[in-house]
Structure 1
């Protein structure tokens, strides 16, 4: 009952006809973030980590050529690459737009990267432990990512959108939105 009261209070200022409705809902869900990992069983919200997806698949084909990419627990499986290692991604001056809408029993999430000012990515075991070559490749990737990013941005947007749709559909499919948001 405590979490229901807290959630009602968090959403109480969000009015559907308000010009600030989208911003209000965004602020409300950000205030609920501390409850995501444990879930909110009283409201049908399953536990989830917004930064982790157990599996995300992306399939693309154009003119008979294509690929299937399956990301599992942060590892990439597909093509001829199957490796283990660690990676670190730092984004600076990053913004994205996220749109969430209900569709029957689940939700659709669409994520678009609006801007990345700068990025550093470091990948271990990219060249099977050849650390000097991996360091050189890190520098090349970090120095040249911007031109290539324009080409892969739609693929990244789609991959992230798919991951969030899966997470949010499972976790928020039974969330009683109408009980908390007034007209």
Structure 2
């Protein structure tokens, strides 16, 4: 009797936790003028599942995101460097809100804008290169907090051919992130001055007191870093997402 009760409770718990996305987005019709808003509202309603993910659809936890390694290289007249970020986590998706969504299925494009009241990233860094002719080589930990942060993400899937000239049925996704705005930023970089704590504390104060001009300069670099990370994350979670099954009409 107890075994039956336990099994019944376990089954009910599974059913309760699962989400049938076909029913969840059942009112969204691709040919409707309200399709984009319908999908946007549906995604916002799924925020309670951002932490757990939707395993039935191959989607892992979206909050926090995790990237084992993100590499960025730059070479120009002012600086030449290779930056490697390791064990990167990004938290804040479950409290974010999607304010705009646009889907162009014919051209394999999805674009959405999100607001984050509080978005936090952290990890380890390694950098080697030169700045204005002076060599730089450093490593340590870092953390970044973004408040009232707005970003637009564009996801595309361009047709690609394999080595035999045949089109790949599901080519990889490409993600481009564009920072729109942030009302406040907190950036802390460990071992910034080779362990000289007084200098590092002073630099930390300067960075966080006068972050707005630097944010304008750093935004393109942050865009590139986040886009690289998100391209891998989105492919890991949504490469085989059954879009046509979820939105058949």
Query: Scaled by the length of structure 2, what TM-score is found?
Result: 0.61
Bigger relative contact order (CA 8 A; separation at least 6): 1
Q: Which residue of 2 aligns with 1:71?
A: 85
- Superposition pairs of residues 72-87 of structure 1, within 5 angstroms: 72-73=86-87, 74-79=123-128, 80-85=136-141, 87=142
**1:102 corresponds to which of 154, 157, 166:** 157
Count of aligned pairs: 181
Give, in whole Å, the separation in 2 of the partners of 1:162 and 1:72.
13
Is residue 2:243 matched to residue 1:180? no
Give, in whole Å, the separation in 2 of the partners of 1:32 and 1:20.
19
Q: What whole-Å deviation, never above 9, does each CA across 1:117-136 have from its counterpart, x for those lacking one? A: 22122334433444333222
Q: Which stretch shows the higher mean deviation, 50-59 or 126-135? A: 126-135
- Superposition pairs of residues 108-127 of structure 1, within 5 angstroms: 108-127=174-193
List gaps (5 residues or longer) in structure 2. Answer: 1-13, 88-122, 129-135, 159-169
**2:24 corresponds to which of 5, 10, 17:** 10
Following TM superposition, by how much is the alpha carbon of 1:166 offset from its aligned partner in structure 2, in angstroms? 0.6
Structure (1/2) with the larger strand percentage:
2
Q: Secondary structure at the match of 1:127?
A: coil
Change (3 A) 1:123 1:144: same
Q: Which residue of 2 aligns with 1:169?
A: 235
Equivalent pair of 1:14/1:181 in contact (CA under 8 Å): yes
Change (3 A) 1:114 1:18: farther
- Superposition pairs of residues 46-61 of structure 1, within 5 angstroms: 50-61=64-75
Equivalent pair of 2:151/2:179 in contact (CA under 8 Å): yes
Change (3 A) 1:118 1:49: closer
Greater gyration radius: 2
Q: What whole-Å deviation, never above 9, does each CA across 1:138-182 have from its counterpart, x for those lacking one? A: 111112222222222112111111111111111111110111124
